[in-house]
Amino acid sequence: MWCPTRPVRSSRARGFTLIELLVVIAIIAILAAILFPVFAQAREKARQATCMNNLKQMATGMLMYSDDHDGHFPPVIGRQPGERLIFPMSWMGRLQPYLKSIAVLVDPSSGHPNQDWETSGDLLANYSFPPSQRSTGHEAAVVTAEPFGTAMWEGIGGFYGPPTGNFLEEVPSTTQAQVARPTETILICDHLAFDWGMIYRKLYYPAPRHIREPDMKLPNGQTAPQGLINAAFIDGHVKALKHDQFWTILRGYSKRGTPTADVFKHFWPYE
């Protein structure tokens, strides 16, 4: 019986040509260029959400502390004689009975994650509670926040204990009832200095940590960082502010100190 001859298959598999490989590599490179920034932004949005949740818990702790202390917020520093470690005497240490968590004090975008306050100062470089200038012997401070302008600035947190840094006088923290605009006055915000640097005899300004944008070019040739700063307000709500919104100035708002003085909207507890 006749059988048709089967075609003989080559035992050698056909490979990709150089051009085909280059096309595949080019497609992968294009996809990576498109997706990597998206992944990075999604990761930063997640970090920002964690930060805002931290601030919400801290604000709640602050309000609970205030309710237990005749309306007063905790001191920025409440130092006992002989104490050396800053964390236990800081506002963060005072909030621990209400927070019951150290992890809440770490902003995942800060770059300072170490929670061991006995051996590391990382916890002091995540969030900040603005101190009252009354502890320096002044009613308020005239602050220049480049490039957004110059205006009066005043914080909330008081001080007690032996003098240290720029804290010279014992004063109580402001109470909830004393704040004229609780929905607009910042209680805690992202910052590398837990006390705005007052312990180092200088007022440092926070820089945006979240959803960073290209730096703003200033007329003097320098640059200012742009992005979002997370903040909790006196009434307990939390909001992300663009850098220029953070330093919003109310023109001629207050007659306190200087007649018709300009004040920073989010750092002026008075009428």
Structure tokens at 8: 């003989």
In the predicted structure, residue 184 carries a pLDDT above the cut 60: yes
pLDDT tens by residue, 121-174: 999 999 999 999 999 999 899 999 988 999 999 999 999 998 888 999 999 999
At residue 18, the pLDDT reads 79
Amino acid at site 73: F
List the single range of 100-104, 137-141, 263-267 with lowest mean pLDDT: 137-141
Phi, psi of 211 (to 5 degrees): 45, 60
Task: Please give the model's pTM, rounded to 2 decimal places.
Answer: 0.83
In 3D, which of 182, 177, 159, 170 has the Cα closest to residue 236? 182
pLDDT tens by residue, 51-92: 999 999 999 999 999 999 999 999 999 988 778 899 999 999
